Amino acid sequence: MNRVRLLVLNAALGPLDYRVPDHLHVEPGSVIIAPLGPRQVFGIAWESERLPGAEVPDARLRPILDVMPVPPLRAPLRRLIEWTADYYCAAPASVARMSLSSGAALRGGGTLTEYRLSGAMPSRLTPQRDVAISALDGEQGTIRELVDLAGVSEAVLRGLVNAGVMEPVVVDIDRPYPLARSDHARPSLSDLQQGAADRFVDAVKAREFAPMLLDGVTGSGKTETYFEAVAQAVDEGRQVLVLLPEIALTENFLKRFASRFGVPPVVWHSNQKQSERRRAWRQVAEGGAQVVVGARSALFLPFANLGLIVVDEAHEVSFKQDDGVRYNARDVAVMRARFEQIPVILASATPALESLQMAEAGIYEKIDLPSRFGAASLPDIAIVDLREQVPPRGRWLAPPLVAGIEERLARGEQALLFLNRRGYAPLTLCRNCGFRFQCPNCSAWLVEHRLSKRLACHHCGHEVPSPSLCPECGEADCLTACGPGVERIADEVAELFPDARIQVVTSDTLSNPEKIAAFVDAAESGAIDVIVGTQLVTKGYHFPELTLVGVVDADLGLEGGDLRAAERSYQQIAQVAGRAGRASKPGEVMIQTRHPEAPVIAALAAGDRDAFYEAETEARRHAGAPPFGRWAAIIVSSEDEAEAREAARIIGNAAPRLDDLAVYGPAPAPLSLLRGRYRYRLLINARRSAAVQQTIRDWLGELSFAPGVRVGVDIDPYSFV
Ligand code: ADP
Ligand code: ZN
């Protein structure tokens, strides 16, 4: 009899066996719909020897219902799902769910009606119709898309359809994308760039696993260089995946890609429309999507014919997912390349210590671009010691930085002020009674946002309108903002320079691709004088007139007990500094600090990256931290404080006693209340050789907890809150 083992997309269940009716064909990787009790589940046919489960006798098997009309998931992807589940102590079903992330795509094709101008003219030409007809020349799309393009109402377009001025066109909803042209606008590379590009192109041709670290200073042309490898893959008819750390960076990338290859790449991220996601998914699976640019979840897409992976800004912490399956997309990308037997390029100006260490050990090949392209040189970095250069009371910009901005304004150049804090002020308190505004769901202060006139929690999204009275003592005009956020810095600049055109750049102000595109256009065309932004502006952008970068508070990132705080601070400041002087005009960076002697700041001031990495390496070695030792965290949470504490105690009491692995805690997490759940943490520090995952599985597998308790495992954690 024909039987099949399914990895069903339900993390609470193990693998299940089914019967395959004669009229259905199943092979490993087939996507299947099967009965489960009275319901139906999706599952993936798996090699039964790789997915141990209970053997059910033939007579008790239920038949599967159908095989979905999509290509079976290939073996390299199945191995990746197994590896990810195993390494990050996650349920295979939870990982597999990321591969089958568009339910709509699984159900086969369909059509969609788009509209375009027919060439006929209306008998009655209203001004609105006139506007629409000129805006839609050469365009085709759904009514909704055309409404956006034409800037008229849906009723106007429907009227044009009824009048025969626009005609319907039926298209396949999963239609292929226009093809990238590898020689559309090939740049002429410098010798140094050409050397790197040749190496990448050879690696694509070789079709073997090759992990490579592209270590190039900001503005050295890393993107142009790896685009040559993309071109090679496209010429060979193979697919490419480019991972970016944030959706906000996609817009900029799309533009650059389109000017190099003639068409935009295929985009994949969680904020897309359902129809776009399903089309992308199907084209990825059928090989029609040549180059996919996406956020970390694109890593689990079912590529038909992957030839290259690029992880851009590979050091970024946002590649680490902090809930659900807690994986690090940078590391999983390397594993996918290994299973697919293809090259993977990790590109960064400030590589993670772990990546540099891999290069040093000879596991990654290191490719360097040590200087900026063309006439551009790296900016000069100056320290502004806030203990000597004191900003006026209630202000945050010290005199040298103010003078620097003034100079730029006078010359018609741009300045960028960086402060990694959204909103106006991180804390609001009552001068009268001392009351502080706190989130009811989290152990965190509410952050004032003046632009939207609200107090907001940055952890759970809880918001209240900014009050005029103190809720505690009822006094009016007594609420004081403490400390600066970007909005407050923007106010300060506006007071100092009333004529300056200022733009605040945060995830609040650039909340969608249109706003990001508008910002990039404005900044490129010189319509903005001073940009005040969070980490969102530290990377990716290339504004030729930007010649001054001011770091408002370089000490901010060093607060908190995060293991990687120093490294992250270094990377962030080096990245934002890299925005200055990217074209022919030289750049200057001013770093405001109270601790000029801190190794991070000293290394930045001296432009001595190696010194920083050496000091950081020693500190990590000493602490048994990655890459010399390993960390893992166990996070226990419940809506009930006592229940969470009890579960943490049970786990703590059962902790294994081993020579190569130490357990710390349980202790209340720094964020002891998050989204209404009380949290406790245990921290595990192990030698590199220790079998951390197996130990944790054995340890937690024995225990049982109250039903409201969640226990999460975080391997190689980035966040210690
Ligand atoms: P990185 O990614 O290393 O910061 P980019 O690839 O963004 O550097 O390059 C910086 C700027 O220099 C970009 O505007 C890019 O188009 C330009 N550039 C780099 N290399 C070349 C080249 N060979 N020819 C023309 N322009 C280049
Ligand atoms: Zn909250």
The per-residue pLDDT for 323 is 84
User: pLDDT, tens digit, for every residue of 504-538?
Assistant: 999 888 888 788 889 989 999 999 999 999 988 88
583 domain-assigned = yes
State the closest ligand 1 atom to the C-alpha of 542, by its place in the atom list counted from 1. 14
Give 52-94 as a 3 state SS string: CCCCCCHHHCCECCEECCCCCCCHHHHHHHHHHHHHCCCCHHH
C-alpha 222 – ligand 1 centre gap (Å): 7
State the closest ligand 1 atom to the C-alpha of 578, by its place in the atom list counted from 1. 4
The per-residue pLDDT for 18 is 96
| 478 labeled part of a ligand binding site | no
The per-residue pLDDT for 242 is 98
Whose atoms come closest to the Cα of 190: which ligand? 1
Q: What is the CATH number of the domain that holds 652?
A: 3.30.70.600
Provide the angle, in degrees to the nearest 10, between the axes of the packed helices 222-235 and 191-206: 30
C-alpha 232 – ligand 2 centre gap (Å): 48
The per-residue pLDDT for 292 is 97
Do residues 510 and 574 share a domain?
A: yes
- Residue 223 reports pLDDT greater than 80: yes
> What is the total residue count of the chain?
721
Q: What residue's CA is closest to ligand 1, atom 11?
A: 219
Encoding tokens for residue 556?
């901010």
Q: What residue's CA is closest to ligand 1, atom 19?
A: 221
92 domain-assigned = no
User: pLDDT, tens digit, for every residue of 127-142?
Assistant: 888 888 888 888 888 8
- Residue 686 reports pLDDT greater than 90: yes
* Bridge partner list, 17: 5
User: pLDDT, tens digit, for every residue of 688-701?
Assistant: 889 999 999 999 99
What's the gap between Cα 550 and its chain centre? Answer: 25
Show which of 617, 637, 652 is a domain's final residue.
617
| 439 labeled part of a ligand binding site | yes
State the closest ligand 1 atom to the C-alpha of 217, by its place in the atom list counted from 1. 3
User: pLDDT, tens digit, for every residue of 287-323?
Assistant: 999 999 998 999 999 999 999 999 999 999 899 998 8
Q: What residue's CA is closest to ligand 1, atom 26?
A: 187
Lowest average pLDDT, out of 89-93, 135-139, 358-362, 601-605, goes to 135-139
Global pTM value: 0.88
365 domain-assigned = yes
453 domain-assigned = yes
Residue 362, C-beta contacts closer than 8 angstroms, at least 6 positions apart = none
Q: State how far the Cα of 590 lies from the Cα of 580, in Å rounded to an integer.
A: 11
Q: Order of strands across the sheet with 239-243?
A: 266-268, 291-294, 239-243, 306-312, 343-348, 210-216, 365-369
State the closest ligand 1 atom to the C-alpha of 222, by its place in the atom list counted from 1. 3
Q: What residue's CA is closest to ligand 1, atom 24?
A: 187
Backbone dihedral angles phi then psi of residue 485, each to the nearest 5 degrees:
-120, 180
Lowest average pLDDT, out of 114-118, 342-346, 348-352, goes to 114-118
Q: Grade residue 561 by pLDDT with cuts at 50, 70 and 90.
A: low
Which residues constitute the domain of residue 142?
111-172
100 domain-assigned = no
- What CA–CA distances, in Å, run from 499 to 391, 450, 545, 643? 21, 21, 18, 58
51-60, 201-210, 364-373: which has the highest mean pLDDT? 201-210
Range 222-241 average pLDDT: 97
In order, the DSSP letters of 497-533 are -TT--EEEESTTTS-SHHHHHHHHHHHHTT--SEEEE
Pocket test for ligand 1, best of 224, 539, 541 (most atoms within 8 A of CB): 224
What's the gap between Cα 431 and its chain centre? Answer: 40
| 482 labeled part of a ligand binding site | no
Whose atoms come closest to the Cα of 574: which ligand? 1
Do residues 363 and 394 share a domain?
A: no
Backbone dihedral angles phi then psi of residue 430, each to the nearest 5 degrees:
-90, 125
Mean of the per-residue pLDDT values of the chain:
92
Alpha helices by DSSP H, 510-594: 513-524, 565-577
Q: Which helix (H) or strand (E) holds 496?
A: helix 486-496
120 domain-assigned = yes
The per-residue pLDDT for 137 is 87
Residue 511, C-beta contacts closer than 8 angstroms, at least 6 positions apart = none
Q: What is the CATH number of the domain that holds 497?
A: 3.40.50.300
Which among 623, 591, 636, 634 is positioned nearest to 687, based on CA atoms? Answer: 623
Q: What residue's CA is closest to ligand 1, atom 21?
A: 221
Do residues 597 and 704 share a domain?
A: no
Q: Give, rounded to a whole angstrom, the gap between the first and last alpha carbons of the chain.
A: 53
User: pLDDT, tens digit, for every residue of 445-493?
Assistant: 999 999 889 999 998 889 999 998 999 999 888 999 999 999 999 999 9
Do residues 237 and 281 share a domain?
A: yes
Do residues 490 and 532 share a domain?
A: yes
- Residue 175 reports pLDDT greater than 70: yes
Q: What is the CATH number of the domain that holds 65?
A: 3.40.1440
C-alpha 315 – ligand 2 centre gap (Å): 28
- Residue 376 reports pLDDT greater than 90: no
The per-residue pLDDT for 291 is 97
Do residues 399 and 534 share a domain?
A: yes
C-alpha 533 – ligand 2 centre gap (Å): 23
Measured over all CA atoms, what is the biggest interatomic distance in the chain, rounded to whole angstroms? 87
Whose atoms come closest to the Cα of 446: which ligand? 2
HSE-CB of 139 using CA atoms within 13 angstroms: 16
Do residues 402 and 489 share a domain?
A: yes
C-alpha 667 – ligand 2 centre gap (Å): 20
DSSP 657: -
Which among 549, 603, 587 is positioned nearest to 418, based on CA atoms? Answer: 549
Encoding tokens for residue 134?
């000129």
The per-residue pLDDT for 211 is 98
Do residues 599 and 651 share a domain?
A: no
Helix (H, G, I), strand (E, B) or coil at 591: strand
Do residues 398 and 511 share a domain?
A: yes
C-alpha 447 – ligand 1 centre gap (Å): 38
Range 563-578 average pLDDT: 88
Q: State how far the Cα of 146 lies from the Cα of 153, in Å rounded to an integer.
A: 10
Q: State how far the Cα of 412 lies from the Cα of 528, in Å rounded to an integer.
A: 10
| 89 labeled part of a ligand binding site | no
Residue 621 neighbours by CB distance under 10 Å: 12
User: Which residues surround ligand 1 with Cβ inside 6 Å?
Assistant: 187, 189-190, 193, 216, 218-224, 373, 542
- Residue 681 reports pLDDT greater than 80: yes
Whose atoms come closest to the Cα of 227: which ligand? 1
86 domain-assigned = no
Do residues 253 and 343 share a domain?
A: yes
| 430 labeled part of a ligand binding site | yes
Q: Grade residue 387 by pLDDT with cuts at 50, 70 and 90.
A: very high
Do residues 16 and 54 share a domain?
A: yes
Pocket test for ligand 1, best of 373, 538, 571 (most atoms within 8 A of CB): 373
Q: State how far the Cα of 243 lies from the Cα of 321, in Å rounded to an integer.
A: 14
Do residues 220 and 328 share a domain?
A: yes
Alpha helices by DSSP H, 22-180: 75-87, 92-99, 103-106, 127-135, 143-150, 154-162
What is the number of structural domains in the chain?
6
State the closest ligand 1 atom to the C-alpha of 220, by its place in the atom list counted from 1. 3
In order, the DSSP letters of 202-244 are HHHHHTS-EEEEEEE-TTS-HHHHHHHHHHHHHHTT-EEEEE-
- Top-confidence residue, 171 or 660: 660
Q: Grade residue 1 by pLDDT with cuts at 50, 70 and 90.
A: low
Show which of 483, 517, 532 is a domain's final residue.
483
- Residue 185 reports pLDDT greater than 70: yes
469 domain-assigned = yes
State the closest ligand 1 atom to the C-alpha of 225, by its place in the atom list counted from 1. 6
CA 467, 471, 474 angle in degrees (round to 5)?
100
Q: What residue's CA is closest to ligand 1, atom 6?
A: 221
Q: State how far the Cα of 514 lies from the Cα of 524, in Å rounded to an integer.
A: 15
- Residue 720 reports pLDDT greater than 80: no
C-alpha 508 – ligand 2 centre gap (Å): 17
The per-residue pLDDT for 560 is 63
Exposure string (b/e) for 99-126, b if CB count within 10 Å is 16 or more? Answer: bbbbebbbeeeeeeebbbbeeeebeeee
Q: CA quadruple 673, 676, 678, 680: dihedral positive or negative?
A: negative
User: pLDDT, tens digit, for every residue of 5-60?
Assistant: 999 999 888 899 999 999 999 999 999 999 998 999 999 999 999 988 877 888 88
Show which of 566, 592, 617 is a domain's final residue.
617
Instruction: Report yes or no: 311 and 330 within 8 Å, Cβ to Cβ.
Output: yes
Q: Grade residue 580 by pLDDT with cuts at 50, 70 and 90.
A: confident
C-alpha 666 – ligand 2 centre gap (Å): 23
Whose atoms come closest to the Cα of 255: which ligand? 1
